[in-house]
């Protein structure tokens, strides 16, 4: 069964929006400070966001017990693993990580990546996802996990539109599309592992690189972007639908016992 939130879904959604607005203003306020100082400030704020999320739910767990890893679910989780590794290799993530260790701003780069991972996962796979789950539960919505994953991922993508202030439209649109797709994959990891640690870890690995050569900041082909992230989105949503079906069967069994 899905763990009940301490806060109502509307309150979680409001807090998520407020925290994002504060995050933007903090970055504007610290615009003229050093990269190291900004990275520390972002890390502190991301930890505050994580704490607020945990207060709203009571823990980082999504369910009382983990989902059963059926044969079909394992097959689709394997597909998720394949597309994740493919993305890491295609976007040269290992090279980025290697470059970090020889970069003069190692700690700033590391703290920026870590703060982004903690903040965005606490916000999108934490507060927003939990809020939509709460709303879906209230409405007795079918495929609640899948729908909530898509809604929270759309918000995750929309948050990247703030980059239009400092980047080209083409690059930012690619970031938005990739964020929506990868957001659904992060939800898969969050639900299957029943926590936020592994989504944060993967997010950190994908972001970990020198700020001057961030993986997705290249004006890559739209064909490549659409192909990779459409596959990620389809595989992730299919996996989430299997989790929804398993949850629905469990609820039916509970009703029979009653």
Domain positions in the chain: 9-257
The Cα 43–Cα 37 span in angstroms is 10
pLDDT of res. 221 = 76
pLDDT in tens, 38-81: 999 999 999 999 999 999 999 999 998 889 999 999 999 999 99
pLDDT in tens, 112-159: 999 999 999 999 999 999 999 999 988 888 899 999 999 999 999 998
pLDDT of res. 217 = 47
Residue 1 burial (CB < 10 Å; 0-12/13-18/19+)? exposed
Tell me the pLDDT band of 254, cut-offs 50, 70 and 90: low
Residue 2 main-chain phi, psi, to 5 deg? -70, 135
Phi-psi category of 58—alpha, beta or left, where left has phi over 0 and alpha has psi -120 to 50?
left
Can you tell me whether residue 88 is helix, strand or coil?
helix
The Cα 7–Cα 57 span in angstroms is 7
The kind and range of the H/E element at 83 are: helix 71-90
Residue 62 CB contacts under 8 Å (≥ 6 apart), including other chains:
2, 3, 190, 191, 194, 195
Residue 63 CB contacts under 8 Å (≥ 6 apart), including other chains:
1, 2, 3, 191, 194
The Cα 188–Cα 149 span in angstroms is 8
Tell me the pLDDT band of 215, cut-offs 50, 70 and 90: very low
What distances in angstroms separate CA 76 from CA 3, 222, 240, one per listed residue?
24, 26, 9
pLDDT of res. 38 = 94
Mean pLDDT of all residues in 184-208: 96
Tell me the pLDDT band of 222, cut-offs 50, 70 and 90: confident
pLDDT in tens, 169-194: 888 888 899 999 999 999 999 999 99
pLDDT of res. 255 = 62
The kind and range of the H/E element at 79 are: helix 71-90
Can you tell me whether residue 63 is helix, strand or coil?
strand
pLDDT of res. 102 = 87
Q: In terms of pLDDT, which residue wins out, 249 or 9?
A: 9
pLDDT in tens, 82-101: 999 999 998 889 998 888 88
The Cα 159–Cα 176 span in angstroms is 8
């Amino acid at each position: 069964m899905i763990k009940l939130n301490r806060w109502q879904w509307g309150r979680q959604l409001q807090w998520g929006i407020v925290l994002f607005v504060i995050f933007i203003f903090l970055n504007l306020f610290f615009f003229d400070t050093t990269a190291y100082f900004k990275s520390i400030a972002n890390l502190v704020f991301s930890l505050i966001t994580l704490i607020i999320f945990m207060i709203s739910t009571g823990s980082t767990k999504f369910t009382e017990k983990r989902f059963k890893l059926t044969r079909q679910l394992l097959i689709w989780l394997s597909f998720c693993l394949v597309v994740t590794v493919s993305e890491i290799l295609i976007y040269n993530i290992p090279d980025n990580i290697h470059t970090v260790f020889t970069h003069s701003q190692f700690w700033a780069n590391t703290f920026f990546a870590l703060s982004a991972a903690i903040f965005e996962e606490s916000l999108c796979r934490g507060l927003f996802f939990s809020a939509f789950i709460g709303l879906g539960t209230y409405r007795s919505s079918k495929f609640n996990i899948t729908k909530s994953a898509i809604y929270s991922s759309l918000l995750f993508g929309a948050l990247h539109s703030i980059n239009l202030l400092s980047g080209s439209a083409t690059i930012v649109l690619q970031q938005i599309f990739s964020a929506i797709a990868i957001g659904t994959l992060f939800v898969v990891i969050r639900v299957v592992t029943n926590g936020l640690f592994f989504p944060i870890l993967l997010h950190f690995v994908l972001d970990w690189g020198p700020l001057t050569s961030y993986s997705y900041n290249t004006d890559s082909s739209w064909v490549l972007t659409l192909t990779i992230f459409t596959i990620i989105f389809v595989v992730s949503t299919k996996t989430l639908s299997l989790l929804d079906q398993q949850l629905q069967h469990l609820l039916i069994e509970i009703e029979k016992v009653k």
